[in-house]
Structure 1
Amino acid sequence: MSDRQPPPYDGNNGGQSGPWEHDPQGQQQPNPYGQPGPYGQGPIPSYPGGGQPDVANYGQQPTGMPPLANWGARAGSYLLDALIIGVPYAILRFGIGGTAGALLGAVVALAGSIYFSYLEGTTGQTPGKKIVGTRTLREADGQVLGFGLAFGRRLLHILDALPCYLGFLWPAWDAKKQTFADKIVHSVVIKP
């Protein structure tokens, strides 16, 4: 047995199998992330472009991560998404008018936001981001956010708007080009 492999699992460690998986016959299964590290643990999965994430130095782009999207690209995709949801909302709200128009407009806006959260969570792109060519990914590993984080990020944009829209302007000078919502959910917007 080499020095780099953990001792075989003997079942006496409180039910924890350690970094290697064992099948019922006692055979060791390889780590799904490649070669084991110094303690038998596999490396962190890489970004889609390749390379290992290196998030130890704040403000520096992790190795292998595509370039971060600039403020103009982010603002353009946000405005396109706002138009896609805002135009039907305005037509219903002001075209029908009254309580019925307000209610229908609110339903359409909510449905659009939920659908855009689903798209962003599963593909990293809303229609506006697809047109501009940007994607929203998790900062730690470069994977898509998932619906929950994407919807939470969309709700947290309220914080970006509260201090005179400062959070929406923050990516213009931030080292990681993140809004306040991005910082809270640990997401980045890239331009592959």
Structure 2
Amino acid sequence: MNHPYGDPSGQNPYDQAQHGPGSGPMPQQMPYGQGGYPAPMPASDPYAQAYGHPGYGQAPTPVPPHVGVPSEWGTRVGGSVLDALIMMGAALVVMLVAMGAGAGVTVLVVALGGGESAAVATLFASYIVGLLAILALGFWAHVYRRGVYGQTFGQKIVRIKTVSEETGLPLGVGAAFARNLCHILDSLPCNVGYLAPLWEPKKQTWADRIMSSVVVSAETGTALPPTKKERKRAASGDVYSQQPSRGGPRQW
């Protein structure tokens, strides 16, 4: 018997047409975001900073922390001026000693019957000895100390150091000597290379960029190796000499 108002069993014939006879129960709806349509992605922020980059208003740090904080240009100039004054004083003393010794030897040569040519040769030899002593002193003060200990005397006074921009350690004698030669490029175009730390992000001269060196505050980065004098003081138990100096780098 046909019922004009539908199947008395309560089943919708249209559902049977959709799912077919004998079909099982309706599958459960998948949780939101699983299967079916993917979950909507959040809108990207065009102003967001990439991972690992400094946020808005934060200055980049081009030099790693283990290397140190780059020194100001004025501090470097102050250290160089002190180095020049120290070297001039030392050279004057060495030359006076050499020429004085040469004069004494010349008097002795003349007294022993040497002629004028022998006296002149003695004075010239004393001048050459003094000049070689000054060159050796300059190499020790500006190349050896910078390469092994990371500091010249002037740099030690203003508390800065010259290190590798990768390791934070002193350059070594060979690299320090090559860096001094590269300073020729700094001085060729009206000393523009010496002014480069004013605008370079790592505050390097052209010689620094060529040799991958950087001048930083001595109180930052990796500790410098102790000098022979400092090792002797440490061995003798001088506690006060082992205490690091306080305060930031001096400005000139």
Instruction: Percent identity, please.
Output: 41
How far does residue 64 in structure 1 lie from its aligned partner after superposition?
3.8
Structure 2 residue aligned with 1:115: 140
How far does residue 105 in structure 1 lie from its aligned partner after superposition?
5.5
Query: What TM-score results when the alignment is normalised by the length of structure 1?
Result: 0.60
How far does residue 106 in structure 1 lie from its aligned partner after superposition?
3.5
Q: Which amino acid aligns with 1:65?
A: V
Q: Is the 8 A contact 1:138 1:186 kept in 2?
A: yes
Structure 1 residue aligned with 2:196: 170
Mean Cα deviation higher: 126-135 or 111-120? 111-120
How far does residue 59 in structure 1 lie from its aligned partner after superposition?
7.3
2:162 aligned residue (131, 136, 139): 136
Q: Secondary structure at the match of 2:162?
A: strand
Q: Is the 8 A contact 1:160 1:167 kept in 2?
A: yes
Q: Is the 8 A contact 1:90 1:105 kept in 2?
A: no
Query: What TM-score results when the alignment is normalised by the length of structure 2?
Result: 0.47
How far does residue 81 in structure 1 lie from its aligned partner after superposition?
1.0
Structure 1 residue aligned with 2:77: 75
Gaps of 5+ in 1: 1-57
Structure 1 residue aligned with 2:89: 87
Q: Is the 8 A contact 1:86 1:109 kept in 2?
A: no
Residue 88 to residue 103, structure 1, CA distance change in 2 (3 Å): farther
* Aligned residue-pair number: 134
RMSD, aligned α-carbons: 2.7
Q: Per chain length, whose mean CA-contact separation is higher, i.e. which structure has more relative contact order (CA < 8 Å, sep 6+)?
A: 2
Gaps of 5+ in 2: 1-59, 100-122, 220-252
Partners of 2:89 and 2:124 in 1: CA distance: 18
Residue 166 to residue 105, structure 1, CA distance change in 2 (3 Å): farther
Between Structure 1 and Structure 2, whose CA radius of gyration is higher?
A: 2
How far does residue 150 in structure 1 lie from its aligned partner after superposition?
0.9
Q: Which amino acid aligns with 1:72?
A: G
Q: Is the 8 A contact 2:67 2:164 kept in 1?
A: no
Structure 2 residue aligned with 1:16: none
**CA deviations over 1:118-168 (Å, ceiling 9, x no partner):** 111111011011001001100111111111111111222122111111111
Partners of 1:105 and 1:173 in 2: CA distance: 41
